[in-house]
Structure 1
Amino acid sequence: MTPASVYTLFFSPTGTTARTADAIAAALARDTAQPAVSAPVRRIDLTHGAAAPVTLPPDAVAVIAVPVYGGHVPPLAAERMKQVRGTQTPAVIVAVYGNRAFEKAPAELAALAAAQGFRPVAAGAFIGEHSYSLPATPIAAGRPDADDLARAAAFGAAVRQKLASTKAGEAPATVDVRRLKAPATPLWPLLRFIVFALSYLRRQKRHPVVYLPAVNADLCTHCGRCAAVCPTEAIRRGDELHTDPDRCIRCCACVKGCPVGARTFDTPFAAALARNFGKRKPPVTLL
C-alpha cells in the first residue's frame, strides 16, 4: 500500500504533540525514490475544538496523536475525536508524555481509534516537555528535541515501509498496542514518587486544594495570548487575571504561552516529577 494522503489528527495545547505528529507524518508521506510525488499531508487540529465531521478513505493513513494526562488519553481529546471516522483506514497511534510514564494512554487511544473505524498498524510513545516543567523544575525540558524528531521521522519512514510491503488486496497487519513496552524507570526514584503521590492524595482527602494557574497582575499586559491558546476557553479575553476552575484542564498552555511570564502554575507535582524523572527516556515504537 502506498498512502494517497496522510492526515495528522492531534490534540496539542503546548505544541509538543503536534511537532511529533508532524515529523512522523512528513516522513510517512515522503516517497524517497520520487520526492516530487509524495503524498499530501493534511492536519486536523482538535486543540481548540472538535473537527467538522469527516470520514477518511481507506487509502489514506492517519497519525493520531495525543498528550498523556495522568496515564490516560485526555477526555477532551477523546470527545473531540468522535467527529472523525475511518473506513478501515490505517492509523499510527502516538502518545506523547512528560518522561514519567505513558501507562494506559496508547492502548486507550488505539481502542478509541478502532471504534471510529481505523486500523492501528503501528504505535509509538514519544517524550515531550511536561506541562508542569519550569526552569526551576525542568521535566523533559526542550523535548521533543532534534534527536526526538529524527526518531519520529525514522518511525514514520518505517511505517511507510511496512505499508509498502503489504501485498496488493490485503489490509496492513494491525498491532496490539498493549504490547508497547515502556522504557525502564530506576526503582528508587519510582518508589520515591509513589510515596509522594500517596501522601499527596491523603492530604487532598483531608484538605482539598484546587490548583490553578496564577497571574501576576503587575506583569500582565492583557494581550489576550493566554485566552487565545487555552483549549477550553477557561480564560476570557479582557479578563485575563482569572481562570475558570471548572474549565481548566491544567495543560499549562497559558503559562508556556504568556510572552511576559505573568502566568505560573504552582503544583507540588512539578518538583516531585523533576526530582524523580530526570533521566532521559527514549521513544519506543511498535510495528
Structure 2
Amino acid sequence: MGSCHVLHFSPTGGVLKAATALARGMAEARGCELEFWDLTRRQMMPPVFADGDVALLAGPVFGGRMPALMGERLRDTVQTGGKPVPAAVLAVYGNRAYEDALLELADWAGAGCGFRVLAGVTALAEHSMCRSVAAGRPDAADEAQLEDFGRKIAAKMQQPHAEVPGLPGNRPYRQWTPMPVTPVTTGVCIACGRCVMRCPTGAITIGKPEEIDPARCILCMRCVSICPVQARSLPEAAQKAIAQKLAPVAQVHRQNELFL
C-alpha cells in the first residue's frame, strides 16, 4: 500500500533515530515500505510520489526554529506534483524548547511542498552542542512511544476527511541569530576527509580541514559528531556559555508530544 517517505535533516543522528521509530509505526500500521531521503546531502535525487504514499518530514530545532538550509532543500528538491500526499512533521529538540519549529516545518511541508499535513510530533534527542543534556534520548521508551504515535498517525491518515491539526507556534516565527563561532580543530586531526565530505554546506576546506567558512557553517555539529579521533569541538568559551544557558533545563525530563 504505497511507501512511507522519510525526509530527514539529521546532522548528528538524533533526528534520524526519532524519525525511524515514528516511521516504523506508520509503516507497520499501513503495511508499507520505508524510503529514506537525506536532506543533509548536498545533492539528492528528488523523491517521486505515487498514489497511496505517505510522508514524514523530520528536522532538528535550532534556537526554536528549523534550520533554513532544510527549508531550501525541501523547496528545491521535494514537490508532491499535485498529489494530496498525507504527511506528518517531526521536530526534534535538545530539551530546551521547540517554540515555532514544528509550525515552521508544517508550513514548509504544506505551502512549500504540497503535502497535506495531518499530524505533528515533537521528540527529544541529545543536545547536539551539550551531549549531557537529554543524554541517551531518544531511549528505548521514547522509541516505543514514537512507534505508537506512528500507528495513531497512520490510523488518522486512513480517514477520508481527516482534518488538519492545530500546531503550537507563532507566525511570524521568532527571530533567531546563530552563534558567531565555528568548530575548532586540534592537532590530533588525521585529515581523513570525513568532515569535508559530509558537511551539509560544504563549509570545510578540502585538504585543510581546520579551515571552516563561517559564512557557510550553520553550526549543525556534524563534523564534531563524526570525527573518528574527536579532533573537533566548539571553542571552550562557547561550550561554557551553552552549558550555562542550558543549566536550568539540564535535569528536566520532557515528554514527546503528538498533535492530531
TM bin (shorter chain):
0.7 to 0.9
Give the equivalent residue in structure 2 for 1:276: 248
1:150 maps to which of 140, 144, 155: 144
CA distance in 2, matches of 1:175, 1:245: 38
Q: Residues 255-282 of structure 1: CA distance to partner in whole angstroms, max 9, x if unpaired?
A: 1111111111031442124412111111
**Residue identity opposite 1:262 in structure 2:** A
> Could you tell me how far 1:59 is from its partner in structure 2?
1.8
Q: Secondary structure at the match of 2:130?
A: coil
Q: Residues 114-135 of structure 1: CA distance to partner in whole angstroms, max 9, x if unpaired?
A: 112111111110011112114x
> Could you tell me how far 1:173 is from its partner in structure 2?
2.3
Aligned 1:221-232 pairs, distance under 5 A: 221-232=190-201
**Residue identity opposite 2:227 in structure 1:** C
2:202 maps to which of 206, 230, 233: 233
CA distance in 1, matches of 2:19, 2:128: 18
Give the equivalent residue in structure 2 for 1:247: 216
> Could you tell me how far 1:57 is from its partner in structure 2?
3.3
Give the equivalent residue in structure 1 for 2:117: 120
CA distance in 2, matches of 1:60, 1:172: 16
> Could you tell me how far 1:249 is from its partner in structure 2?
0.5
Q: Secondary structure at the match of 2:209?
A: coil
Q: Which consecutive aligned stretches of 4+ in structure 1 deviate over 6 angstroms post-superposition?
A: none
Q: Secondary structure at the match of 1:85?
A: coil
> Could you tell me how far 1:236 is from its partner in structure 2?
2.8
Note the residue ranges of structure 1 that are not aligned, 5 or more in a row. Answer: 33-37, 181-200
CA distance in 1, matches of 2:243, 2:169: 31
User: What TM-score, normalized by structure 1, do the two folds share?
Assistant: 0.80
> Could you tell me how far 1:148 is from its partner in structure 2?
1.6
Give percent identity, aligned residues only: 36
Q: Is the 8 A contact 1:51 1:81 kept in 2?
A: no
CA distance in 2, matches of 1:53, 1:162: 26
Q: Residues 121-174 of structure 1: CA distance to partner in whole angstroms, max 9, x if unpaired?
A: 11110011112114xxx221222121221111111111122233x1xxx34322
* Bigger-Rg structure (1/2): 1
* 1:269–1:157 Cα change, 3 Å: farther
Q: Secondary structure at the match of 1:271?
A: helix
Note the residue ranges of structure 2 that are not aligned, 5 or more in a row. Answer: 171-176
Give the equivalent residue in structure 2 for 1:190: none
**1:25 matches 2:19:** no
CA distance in 1, matches of 2:6, 2:249: 29
2:181 maps to which of 211, 232, 237: 211
Q: Residues 52-95 of structure 1: CA distance to partner in whole angstroms, max 9, x if unpaired?
A: 34442352110011101111111000000012122221110100
CA distance in 1, matches of 2:59, 2:157: 23
